[in-house]
Structure 1
Amino acid sequence: MYSTPDPHSITRLNARKRPAAALAAGVLALALLLLVAAQLHHAWSSYEARLAETRSATSNMARALAAQGEGSIRIVDTVLASVVERIENDPGGATSARLRGYLMDTVRTVPELHGLFVYGPDGSWIVSSLATPIQGNNSDREYFQHHLKNTDGRVHIGAPVKSKSTGVWILPVSRRLENADGSFAGVVLGTMRVDFFAELYDSFDVGQSGVIFLTLDDGTLVYRRPFNATLPGTKLNGPVFKLYRENGPVGSAMLRSKIDQVERLYSYRHLDTFPLIVGSAQSKDEILAEWYRSTGALAVGSLAAILFIGWLGKRLVGQIVLRDRLEHELSLAGTTLEAKNAELRTLASVDSLTGLANRRTLDAVLARELSRARRSGAPLSLIIVDVDYFKKFNDRYGHVAGDECLRMVGSLLLASLGRPADVAARYGGEEFAVLLPDTRKDGAIKIAERMRAGLVELGIDHADNPQGVVTLSGGVYTFDAARDASLTREGLIARADQRLYAAKQGGRNRIATDLTFPAEGPA
């Protein structure tokens, strides 16, 4: 009941006016700090968003570049396979004029190809797509030595080299030739101009300081935009390759270039079939240029607003007076009421003995999760456990000990869960339920067995239990949307309860997942 404040109380309130004004000034200062914090948060969020947007763009670009590279090299490999088949199935075909014409026609019609060449087992030139045949020997080339030593017959992509016929940088793609007895018969080589990749990559916008690169798995550079004629064939082993070795075939990171020391956001991707890595990168400064401008303008505007609010607040603080006693008591009453409401909400959802969720909460969560599992097709597992011989425990040790036993079981169940979405509840008496969203049957069995074994390890004495300690039995049922489309909440509980009953009938201290008696669990 409200009581009228006496004069002494009013005097004390008046004496507190100046401290209250100081408090108001403090609140205003806090508000200004929060405003500054909000602006900083906004700036940081937009910074992160800008980087995330660019990371997505560079990742998509790397994916597109990888697809283009994969397709281009696959075309060359297909041509090589066709040439190998012609030669190996046509005795004397490697030296025929018809084969030379085929090579020349293929190079003219396949833009990916710079040239096609056939070398004998000693590395000598046999036939090529060149208009003017060249005499020479390529046994010193890495790809020739590779096929001489390897009989796997797979396509080989070598390090870029300068063509002996034209002097331009080329990427050698080759296959092994074999005689009928499987012995080495030479090499079929298809060459791709390194500047062919430039034609592909120049259509992508990576800014003024951006980079697009293509390398072999070992870090040997094939092409880098902007192009530098001294770089093809060199092993870089820069930060991108350290990231590749750590993260695998796909990745993104802000790294500093080993070549020009520019910090860029890199995204790379390994080709699906061939030993090549392609990547793109944009300069951090270019990525954030617009962010710098907008953040600077926002900072100036925010500073002006803060100064104005500070001046206005200073004027207003002088006008603040204390609220009257009624407002104070109403505020206090509102706070008390809210606390009581929160306490009532907690009491309505939590079991007072164990601190677990109560039956009402379990029913609500189960209905919601069952509906979600039915829509999404995700599994939903329910475990119902019961303390074995609990009535005998109460009769022998008393209800106080029984309550303590239930509290220990509740704590054990809660400690056995590993995810916020999992719910442990007291279902009634000595019976408990555990709801496991997105959990398959085998995962639910492991958790249930961990609970059963954990209770045995606690070693709570129970003279009327054949095990000598408190144990529990449990039933596990996993909802499957395809199988249980019409299953209700009550039906799900009933199926888990039936398996609990099977565990009880089977001798207790065990977990049942079907309606036959399970084997006894370890003590």
Structure 2
Amino acid sequence: MSEEHHPQPDVSMQSLRRLLVVFLLVIGCAVVLVNGWVVYSIWQRIVNETQNNARNLSQSLSRQAEDTLLPVELTLQDLRDRITLVGLDAERQNYLRTLLMERKASLPQLHGLFVYDRAGNWVLTSQEMLNQRSNNADRAYFKYHQQHSDLDLHIDEVIRSRTTGELVIPVSMRLNNRDGTFRGVLLATLRIDYFRQIFGYYSLGDKGLLALMTHTGNILYVRPFVDNLLNRNIANSPLFTHLLKTSSNGTASYKAALDGVERIFGYASLKRYPLVITVGYDKKQLVQAWLAELVVYLSLCALLLLVIAALGWLLLRNVGHTIRDQEELATARDRLTAINRTLQTLALVDSLTGLANRRQFDLYLDRSLERANKLRSPMALLMIDVDSFKRFNDTYGHLAGDECLKYVGNALLNIGLRSDDLIARYGGEEFAVILTDCGQEAAMKVAERIREVVAALEIPHRNSESAAKVVTISIGLHVMQSNQPEDRQTLIGQADKALYQAKLAGRNRVEILQ
């Protein structure tokens, strides 16, 4: 009586299951770690982009502020020179008053221009009517010039105009007598509304901050806060306590002294004037934007983990049935990979221009020569070279060089040749055109048309030898006559010699070897 046979457990299959479990756990952990890194990278990208935006905007606004102040400074210097030259006598005042009115009208940032004597009385103003009883000796800027002998431009705290009630920034210069004693003050007042208008174009979010301050920390303009904060001193801010001491411009993250909100700031000191521009983006809003960007991403990642878990369960359940399929699939994959490699090796199209590559050119030229020799028909070969292409690459870079070759290749492709003709990228910046059953006259017309079409692209090339400073091509043409059979090397060699003649003759031309 025979014994019943019981199959023994497949130890290798059990090992495979264990390995599969470990693999799925590793994959799950890897997905979590990778997604954690991606989430962190997204935050870093947002922070870096915000820092770059803040830095660039602060530097741009600092240049804009300098451009606003420079014509005002030049106006005051010019006015001081004229007063020193012609004086402030009554017969000169009408001339000077007209000059002030013209200068004020030409500078939209100006609220007004004023001249004060040593006692602070108004002598001249850009306004049409002069209140002779007005005296500004009590203003801080006037006292400053009384006590300081320097002739540099002075920017003081924001004041309210006594003539119009507007908030203005006083920009002043000391006016001296010929012996150097104090003669008075030249004053230009800048409208706060002007800065509110030009700085209002920039969107910084609901709690974004933009401020113009003196180097001592006095606020001259700030948004989005109310005007009550003007002239407030924030010298205890990190911006003034250490950031500006180490660098005149940069970025940093800190809590604003005005409202305690943490922001990512960009700051820049004006090179010519003792002013500072700072731009801040609310960090809480950045976090909200980051979380909003992550919602969809994290949902997809969670879905991916669920799919991995489901697939793992299915694999564990069906591993005994799928092992054979996996082996067959691996075999098929290897074969497919080998076929793909073979196809890539045999690819006949140039990946950059979409034209025929050198391999296809050689194959087609051999077939065309065989056909032309058999039928006793002429055949032409055009060898084309982009002029001064190394200079183009050196000037604009290799990426621009690739784009240039694409444009030239596209122009050749759209030249409208016959279906039996072939356009190929021969190598580097060289192209070739095979014209079957084509005589010398027709080939010359095609070559000239190709040369003109490429020149008409007007691709800029400032180091080109052409007068138009655009990309051009040189073409060497050789026509194999019907009664003079040639081989491939001879045909290419003759066309190359013609191309060399075209280069020597000055480029941007067609040459045929006689």
Q: Classify the TM-score, shorter chain.
A: 0.5 to 0.7
Q: Deviations over 1:247-293 (max 9, x none)?
A: 32101122322323333221111111000011222223444544322
- Choose from 10, 13, 26 the match for 1:30: 26
The one-letter code matched in structure 2 to 1:28 is L
| Percentage of pairs with the same residue | 28
One-letter amino acid of the structure 2 residue matched with residue 240 of structure 1: L
Structure 2 Cα separation of the partners of residues 261 and 149 of structure 1: 37
Distance verdict in 2 for CA 1:289–1:77, change over 3 Å = same
Distance 2:10 2:138 in 1: 100
Matching residue within 60, 65, 72 for 1:64: 60
Maintained 8 Å contact 1:268/1:277: yes
Give the structure 1 partner of residue 85 of structure 2: 89
Deviates more, 1:225-234 or 1:271-280: 225-234
The equivalent residue for 2:312 is 313
User: 2:164 & 2:212 partners in 1: Cα distance?
Assistant: 22
Q: Show the counterpart of 1:345.
A: none
Residue 49 of structure 1 is matched in structure 2 by 45
Residue 14 of structure 1 deviates from its aligned partner by 6.0
Unaligned runs of 5+ in 2: 1-7, 324-393, 395-514
Alignment of structure 1 residues 203-222 onto 2, 5 Å? 203-222=201-220
User: What amino acid sits opposite 2:232 in the alignment?
Assistant: T
Aligned to 1:436: none
Output one character per residue of 1:468-499: Cα deviation in whole Å (capped at 9) or x when no partner.
xxxxxxxxxxxxxxxxxxxxxxxxxxxxxxxx
Bigger shift: residues 257-266 or 151-160? 257-266
Partner amino acid, structure 1, of 2:121: S
Q: Give the Cα–Cα distance (whole angstroms) in 1 for the partners of residues 293 and 261 of structure 2.
A: 23
Instruction: Report how far residue 19 of structure 1 moved.
Output: 6.4
Pairing partner for 1:39 from 35, 38, 52: 35
Once the two structures are superposed, the pairs formed by residues 258-269 of structure 1 within 5 Å of their partners are 258-269=257-268
Provide the residue aligned with 1:102 in structure 2.
99
Structure 1 runs of 4+ aligned residues shifted over 4 Å read 13-20, 318-321
Residue of structure 2 equivalent to 1:178: 176
Whether 2:112 is the aligned partner of 1:115: answer: yes
User: What is aligned with 2:162?
Assistant: 164
The offset of 1:33, in angstroms, is 0.9
Rounded Cα–Cα distance in structure 2 between residues aligned with 1:267 and 1:231: 20
1:93/1:80 Cα in 2 relative to 1: closer, same or farther (>3 Å)?
farther
CA-to-aligned-CA distance 1:3-50 (integer Å, 9 cap, x gap): xxxxxxxx9x96686566445423321210110111111121122112
CA deviation after TM superposition for structure 1 residue 227, in Å: 4.5
Instruction: Work out whether residues 50 and 288 of structure 1, in 8 Å CA contact, stay in contact via their aligned partners in 2.
Output: no
- Structure 2 distance, partners of 1:244, 1:188, is 34
State how many pairs are aligned: 315
- Which residues of 2 match residues 408-419 of structure 1 at below 5 A? none
Q: 1:243–1:19: structure 2 CA closer, same or farther, 3 Å change rule?
A: farther
Structure 1 residue runs without a partner (length 5+): 1-10, 324-374, 376-523
**What secondary structure is seen at the aligned counterpart in 1 of 2:229?**
coil
What is the aligned partner in structure 2 of residue 278 from structure 1? 277
8 Å CA contact 1:93–1:99 kept in 2: the answer is no
Look up the match of 1:74: 70
1:71 counterpart SS class: helix
What is the Cα-based RMSD across aligned positions, in Å? 2.8
Instruction: Provide the C-alpha distance between the structure 2 equivalents of 1:211 and 1:262, rounded to a whole number of angstroms.
Output: 10
For the residue of structure 1 that corresponds to 2:152, the secondary structure is coil
Q: Distance in 1 between matches of 2:137 and 2:59?
A: 36
Question: How far apart in 1 are the matches of 2:89 and 2:34?
Answer: 77
SS at 1:190 equivalent: strand
Aligned-partner Cα distance in 2 for 1:259–1:278: 15
- Asked if 1:257 is matched to 2:273, the reply is no
User: Is 1:130 aligned to residue 130 of structure 2?
Assistant: no
1:241 is the counterpart of 2:237: no
Q: TM-score, normalised by structure 1?
A: 0.56
Distance 2:95 2:298 in 1: 74
The secondary structure found in structure 1 opposite 2:162 is: coil
Match of 1:366 in 2: none
CA distance in 2, matches of 1:96, 1:276: 33
SS where residue 118 of structure 1 aligns? strand
Q: Relative to structure 1, is the Cα distance of residues 14 and 254 closer, same or farther in structure 2, using a 3 angstrom cutoff?
A: same
Please report how far the alpha carbon of residue 314 of structure 1 lies from its aligned counterpart in structure 2 after TM superposition: 3.3
C-alpha distance in 2 between matches for 1:189 and 1:47: 49
Give 1:114's aligned amino acid. Answer: H
Alpha-carbon separation, structure 2, partners of 1:27 and 1:236: 59
Does the aligned pair in 2 maintain the 1:87–1:93 contact within 8 Å?
no
The one-letter amino acid of 1:247's match is T
C-alpha distance in structure 1 between counterparts of 2:41 and 2:266, whole Å: 21
By how many angstroms is 1:185 displaced? 0.9
2-structure distance, mates of 1:193, 1:75: 15
- Partner deviation per Cα, 1:169-211 (whole Å, 9 max, x = no partner): 1111111111111111111011101111011111122223222
The 1-side partners of 2:84 and 2:189 are apart by: 21
The equivalent of 2:292 in structure 1 is: 293
Partners of 2:221 and 2:89 in 1: CA distance:
35
2:221 maps to which residue?
A: 223
Aligned-partner Cα distance in 2 for 1:52–1:93: 60
**CA gap 1:227/1:104 in 2 versus in 1, 3 angstroms:** farther
Residues 122 and 242 from structure 1, CA distance in 2 versus in 1: closer, same or farther, beyond 3 angstroms?
same
Indicate whether 1:143 and 2:128 are aligned. no
Question: Is the partner of 2:201 in helix, strand or coil?
Answer: coil
Classify the secondary structure of the residue corresponding to 1:89.
Answer: helix
**1:128-180 deviation digits (Å, cap 9, x = unpaired):** 22223232332222222222222221111111122222222111111111111
Which residue is equivalent to 2:502? none
Q: Distance in 2 between matches of 1:84 and 1:203?
A: 35
Instruction: Tell me the residue number matched to 1:348.
Output: none
What is the aligned partner in structure 2 of residue 405 from structure 1? Answer: none
Distance 2:195 2:241 in 1: 24
CA contact (8 A) 1:217 1:275 kept: yes
Q: In the aligned structure 2, how far is the partner of 1:24 from the partner of 1:92?
A: 97
1:482-497 to structure 2, matched below 5 A, reads none
The Cα of 1:240 is off from its aligned counterpart by: 3.3
Aligned residue identity for 2:311: L
User: What is the SS of the residue equivalent to 2:137?
Assistant: coil
Letter of the structure 2 residue corresponding to residue 108 of structure 1: A
Provide, for residues 202-224 of structure 1, a one-character-per-residue CA deviation record: whole Å limited to 9, x for no partner.
Answer: 11222232222100001100001
Distance 1:92 1:290, change over 3 A: closer
